[in-house]
Structure 1
Amino acid sequence: MKHPRPSLAIAVVAASSLVPLAACSSSSGSGDSGSGKTEITLLTDNAESTVKPAKAVIAAFEKANPTITVNAETRPGGAEGDNLVKTKLSTGDMADVFWYNSGSLLQALSPEKTLVDLTNDPALKDTDPSFLPAVTQKGKVYGAPWGTAMGGGILYNKDVYSQLGLSVPKTWAEFESNSEKIKGAGITPVLGTLKDTFTSQLYVLGDFHNVASSNPEWADEYTANKVKYATDPVALKGFEKAAEPKQKGWLNDSAGSTTFAQGIKLLAKGKAAQYPMLTFPISTLPAEDAAKIGFFGIPGDDASKAGATIWEPGGQYIPKASKNIEAAKKFVAFVASVAGTEAFSSAVPPTGPYLVKGSKLPDNAPPVAKDMQAYIDSKTSTPALEFISPVKGPSLEQIMVAIMTGQTPPQEGAAQYDADVTKQAKQLGLPGW
């Protein structure tokens, strides 16, 4: 989502439980092992929600491709992981395949210099075309998807909604009404987990569907420095929505000291009813708790345009320095196939749809995944801004924390972010800035 700071997606991954990845095969290294097998390496982040499905996918791939062995390696999440990826690429020491972000962070990898061009390659034959813009730079495609798409909006406790007779809101006014009824029932209406500051960003980032619905050209105009958050009334509303829970007594008193990990558990227990967040963290919950949580997009003002902002799946890439490009392509193709998605789902419940042709959510997928699928099927979803614009300032989360806690008025915070974005755009050398 931004550079040099890690994206929201990376931050969420980094916040989840971390476990070491045991070797997925007994051999090490790459190339020809001397036994007639080709060995390749896969580099992923070290979050449990990545490690477990990586193991499952590798096992399924090796069973289907007995002449190829895949050795798994892990890296840290967040900024440390970003820097390690760049270092490995620049030194020619990158794994044969690596899983990383799609979207704006791809530009920072100088893909035209470092990555294998997969434009029209058979490795992408099962990739849904809607994913390709997220891994395209200067007209060339460099990646295939791994994992699922995510929604960015409001996670809500289905039991609380049912007990209070509430319906999923399609306008912000309906969300306000729901929140007042929840408050009247003695339940925290809106959860904040500002101890982990990255979680503050959803009001603005998740509101992008409403911005794009109002002006379909907004992302292009934003990239060209023709629109600003502080001076666009529709774009400004994301900052105003962030301030409202504190102003109206909906926000938990402990928002400043509550962590992301604590928050998702509070939501599952019904201690709080609504949580602005990605759908991703549902994978960290037991199935019985995940079944209690649904998802809806951040509401706008027009019920007829109600929808959701989605985060595209991560990208899997092959470095030009790989000595096993053909074997790497086979692995990439498998991950982005129905067989690959089934292996992935066998390890962790999907928290959104796979952007792979023919892939279907399993019957035991949690409600948030099915809610997300409904938005995509009805064509009422919009990619998050990071997937269609490289412009993202590094200080959004700090600005949003100040707005959510009442320290900074929304209009002032939006102006601060516009100034922050300007610095980043100039560093990227974008025209018009």
Structure 2
Amino acid sequence: MTIARLHRPAAVGAAVIAGALILTSCSSGTSEPEGSSSGDGGEMTDPVELTLLTGTVELNVQIAEAVAAGFNEANPDIVVTVDASMPSGSEGDNLLKTRLATGDAPDMFWYNSGSLLQALNPDSQLLNIADQSFLSNVQESFIPTVSTANGTYGVPIDVAGGGGIFYSIPIYEELGLEVPTTWDEFVANTQAIKDAGYDNALIQSFGDTWTSQIIMLADYYNIYNEDPDWADKYTANEAHYADTPIALRSFEKMQDLADEGLLNKDFASLTFDQALERMANGEGAQYPMLMFAIDTMVDLYPESADNIGYFAIPGDSASANGLTVWMPPAIYAPADTEHQAEVLRFMEYVASPDACAARLDAGVAAGGPFVVNGCTLPDDVPQAIKDMLPYFDNGNTAPALEFLSPIKGPSLEQILVEVGSGIRDAGDAAALYDEDVKKQAQQLGLDGW
């Protein structure tokens, strides 16, 4: 998964989601999407060459190359080549915007779903695929993340993932702890682990400041569960973190951990990679993180597949227990592509179980549910992934705020480091962050700002 707003470094993105797939087969080459063409009576011609632009994150490149290879084998009249040269973060965003605006965009490109897509002006610059029948293969929950009121523009190229807390199953069993379903239970568990002599009862890794955001961002399910329209109000400047009690709780939870002294002693300097190693080798008891990190832990210590569990950021009531979800990125094309028929054939393939099979056959595993119908996960995925799936099965999920609102202030990670370090209290932090988002909202030209 590509986390649109966390902007992980490329080295971090290479350590992503593990598992395997059992797939139902389906032929993607037997029918053509609307607007496509099969050639001129079977005469031998040179294949049409298409370029798929991706970033440099290793897993993303592996997925793209596996899917392209599977497509090329099934469609010898088209050759898709992966160009893994797009920079990470805002540099890549700006480069893509420039290429689209100047007519220099590649045939297709890998990009975020959700609110960041709106900055590409999709209605004027991207190929509208709303009338393509292959979209019926894509789960309905994904479609809004690649759509505007006027069209749909992308097909999912990876899996969905959750935000929550990894925990050590052996430590929980040793201390007789139950998986918490309320925040108070979670704090009590953490205190019990610390009292038992574990220095890493709850790991934070502010040496990589982006990791400070996990608890706050992954708490969004609890806001959504109380007020499903909060994101719209937030975007319209009608609701804010500081004046919405359930939203303020996302900051207060960080303060709770600081006030109780529950973090590892080296939280200020510990890095993401070091935190994962502590969890993997059994030193760490709990670590707030996105699901993609399970792959690194299993690589470091294979026993992590059975020893690491996962649960969502708890709310204040056990009846409001659910998971915040990051939707997968997508494949898009510029509106003025010279090879529309061939691009649509590739998109049709991406939105099929055949593309999942190509990924699996290439040894590129998945660590969350696919949003393409017909792609399922087997029983032997890591325990952390098994723990995540019931939230999806029971419908207790909500998309992360970044898929519902374009507003995210640039200073969030630094603000949360201050809260987690005990430097700033939750109320001040929420008010500061509400001010932080104003400039961005005004730059986007949003109504109400």
TM-score when normalising by structure 2? 0.88
Deviations 1:353-393 (A, max 9, x none): 11111210133322233223211110000011111112211
Match of 2:231 in 1: 219
Q: 3-state SS of the aligned residue for 1:163?
A: helix
Moved more, 199-208 or 89-98: 89-98
Q: 3-state SS of the aligned residue for 2:375?
A: coil
How many angstroms apart in 2 are the aligned matches of 1:149 and 1:321?
Answer: 30
**1:98-247 equivalence runs, <5 A:** 98-187=109-198, 188-247=200-259
Q: 1:127–1:355: 8 Å Cα contact kept in structure 2?
A: yes
Match of 1:284 in 2: 296
- The CA deviation at 1:44 is 1.2
Higher relative contact order structure (alpha carbons within 8 Å, sequence separation ≥ 6): 2
2:61 is aligned with 1:48: no
Measured on the aligned residues, the alpha-carbon RMSD in Å equals 1.9
Q: 3-state SS of the aligned residue for 1:420?
A: helix
Match of 2:424 in 1: 408
Q: 1:125–1:333: 8 Å Cα contact kept in structure 2?
A: no
How many angstroms apart in 2 are the aligned matches of 1:256 and 1:228?
Answer: 28
Q: 2:5–2:402: 8 Å Cα contact kept in structure 1?
A: no
Match of 1:300 in 2: 315
Deviations 1:253-292 (A, max 9, x none): 1112111122112111122111111111223341443443
- The CA deviation at 1:14 is 5.5
Q: Which amino acid letter does the alignment assign opposite residue 65 of structure 1?
A: N
Match of 1:273 in 2: 285
Change (3 A) 1:284 1:324: farther
Q: Which amino acid letter does the alignment assign opposite residue 307 of structure 2?
A: K
Moved more, 131-140 or 278-287: 278-287
Report how many aligned residue pairs link the two structures: 414
Q: Which amino acid letter does the alignment assign opposite residue 178 of structure 1?
A: N
Q: 1:352–1:369: 8 Å Cα contact kept in structure 2?
A: yes
Unaligned runs of 5+ in 2: 16-38
- The CA deviation at 1:35 is 4.9
- The CA deviation at 1:307 is 0.6
Deviations 1:88-117 (A, max 9, x none): 212222221111111111011111121001
Q: Which amino acid letter does the alignment assign opposite residue 338 of structure 1?
A: P
Change (3 A) 1:431 1:61: same
How many angstroms apart in 1 are the aligned matches of 2:370 and 2:399?
Answer: 14
Q: 1:101–1:314: 8 Å Cα contact kept in structure 2?
A: yes
Change (3 A) 1:397 1:375: same
Q: 2:10–2:57: 8 Å Cα contact kept in structure 1?
A: yes
**1:49-128 equivalence runs, <5 A:** 49-74=59-84, 75-128=86-139
**1:414-433 equivalence runs, <5 A:** 414-433=430-449
- The CA deviation at 1:352 is 1.1
- The CA deviation at 1:13 is 5.3
- The CA deviation at 1:142 is 1.0
2:327 is aligned with 1:312: yes
Q: 1:16–1:261: 8 Å Cα contact kept in structure 2?
A: no
Q: 3-state SS of the aligned residue for 2:376?
A: coil
Q: 3-state SS of the aligned residue for 1:231?
A: coil
Deviations 1:290-339 (A, max 9, x none): 44322211000111120110011112111123221221122122122112
How many angstroms apart in 2 are the aligned matches of 1:13 and 1:131?
Answer: 25
- The CA deviation at 1:78 is 1.6
How many angstroms apart in 1 are the aligned matches of 2:177 and 2:341?
Answer: 54
